[in-house]
């Protein structure tokens, strides 16, 4: 792809591993300089930075818990100090909880809501303020999920926060349209990352059965890779997508399109 992101600066949250790492590497491969946010794995974030630099790009690791507003302020200030501008924000940081709503400890509910939804709100607000003040537009892309649209038993706060990200992004798209800031969502299907280790690495019979059930449910018949999400993000971050805003792009191998009953 040549999406002409050279000279652009991207901030990617939760970029030390998994989908965030894939997004950071894809954007850097398209020429963007990348602020690599991490919360507690400095070594992994530095590996992403080294990989980008060894490919001739530029990157900087910045620690912050995006669920805390003061941390998000420090993150955005540090990215601006290092790169002078932010053209692309990718709200990727997210965690999952596997507890039914009636049983989930309240602190765990709060942790998921703060990381997934408040993290998206905090960074979008702060970077949005910077983009509006600077002028010249910008791109805000948030990583949601097929489970913002389709419920999954035992993942209540996760599904609710992803649906919240979807609506929040439409709202922000409308509010920022006159500033030519595109706000979009990439709703991810099942991807091979640590969040899903039981699904693609485990050899326990129950996990193998689950993996087979998931594969049967995805029309494309495979689990996606972080770069599948990275390429969709890079497209939305480019001027090729200048008339796309308030959209939810499902990158899911056809999962939400398919209502076929399975045996």
Ligand X SMILES: NC(=O)c1ccc[n+]([C@@H]2O[C@H](COP(=O)([O-])OP(=O)(O)OC[C@H]3O[C@@H](n4cnc5c(N)ncnc54)[C@H](O)[C@@H]3O)[C@@H](O)[C@H]2O)c1
Which residues have a catalytic role annotated? 158
Please report whether residue 17 would count as binding ligand X according to CB under 6 A: yes
- Under the criterion CB under 6 A, does residue 66 sit at the interface with ligand X? yes
Q: Can residue 145 be called a binding residue for ligand X (CB under 6 A)?
A: yes
- Select from 46-54, 91-99, 213-221, 234-242 the region that touches ligand X (CB under 6 A): 91-99
Total residues in contact with ligand X, by rule CB under 6 A: 28
143 binds ligand X, rule: CB under 6 A: yes
CB of 75 to ligand X, least distance (A): 9
CA angle 157, 161, 166 (to 5 degrees): 150
Distance CA 261, CA 238 (A): 38
Question: Binding residue for ligand X (CB under 6 A) from 196, 211, 237, 250?
Answer: 196
99 DSSP 8-state letter: B
> Which CB atom, from 60 or from 188, has the smaller least distance to ligand X?
188
Which of 13, 60, 184, 245 touches ligand X by CB under 6 A? 13
Question: Can you spell out the DSSP letters for 221-242?
Answer: -S-B-HHHHHHHHHHHTSGGGT
> What are phi and psi for residue 175, nearest 5 degrees?
-70, -30
What is the Cα–Cα distance from 259 to 79, expressed in whole angstroms? 43
Answer for which of 103, 194, 206, 243 binds ligand X (CB under 6 A) is 194
Least distance in angstroms from the C-beta of 242 to ligand X:
25
Which of 182, 193, 238, 245 is in the footprint of ligand X by CB under 6 A? 193
Residues 98-137 that bind ligand X (CB under 6 A): 115, 119
Interacting residues with ligand X between 26 and 55 (CB under 6 A) = 37, 39, 41
Task: Report which secondary-structure segment, H or E, holds 91.
Answer: strand 88-91
Task: Decide if residue 92 touches ligand X (CB under 6 A).
Answer: yes
Sheet holding 181-188, edge to edge: 59-63, 33-38, 9-12, 88-91, 138-145, 181-188, 248-251
What Å distances lie between residue 152 and 5, 101, 194, 198, CA to CA? Answer: 36, 11, 19, 16
Query: Does residue number 169 form part of the binding site for ligand X (CB under 6 A)?
Result: no
The CA-based dihedral angle spanning residues 28, 38, 128, 108, taken in that order and rounded to the nearest 10 degrees:
140
Cα–Cα distance measured from residue 12 to residue 125, given in angstroms and rounded to the nearest whole number? 15
Residues that bind ligand X (CB under 6 A): 13-14, 16-20, 37, 39, 41, 65-67, 92-95, 115, 119, 143, 145, 188, 190-191, 193-196
């Amino acid at each position: 792809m040549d999406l002409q992101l050279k000279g652009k600066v991207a901030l990617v949250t939760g970029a030390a591993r998994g989908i965030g790492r894939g997004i950071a590497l894809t954007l850097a491969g398209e020429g963007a300089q990348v602020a690599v946010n991490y919360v507690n794995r400095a070594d992994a974030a530095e590996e992403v930075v080294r990989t980008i630099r060894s490919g001739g790009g530029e990157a900087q690791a910045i620690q912050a818990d995006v669920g805390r507003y003061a941390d998000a302020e420090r993150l955005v200030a540090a990215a601006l100090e290092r790169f002078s501008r932010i053209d692309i924000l990718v709200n990727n940081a997210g965690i999952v909880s596997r507890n039914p709503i009636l049983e989930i400890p309240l602190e765990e509910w709060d942790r998921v809501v703060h990381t997934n939804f408040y993290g998206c709100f905090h960074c979008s607000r702060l970077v949005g303020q910077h983009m509006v003040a600077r002028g010249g537009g910008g791109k805000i892309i948030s990583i949601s999920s097929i489970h913002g649209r389709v419920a999954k038993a035992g993942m209540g706060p996760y599904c609710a926060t992803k649906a919240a990200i979807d609506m929040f992004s439409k709202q922000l798209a409308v509010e920022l349209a006159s500033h030519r800031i595109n706000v979009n969502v990439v709703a991810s299907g099942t991807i091979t990352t640590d969040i899903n280790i039981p699904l693609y690495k485990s050899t326990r019979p129950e996990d193998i059965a689950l993996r087979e059930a998931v594969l049967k449910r995805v029309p494309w018949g495979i689990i996606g890779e972080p770069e599948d999400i990275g390429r969709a993000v890079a497209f939305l971050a480019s001027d090729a997508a200048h008339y796309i805003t308030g959209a939810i792009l499902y990158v899911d191998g056809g999962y939400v399109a398919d209502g076929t009953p399975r045996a």
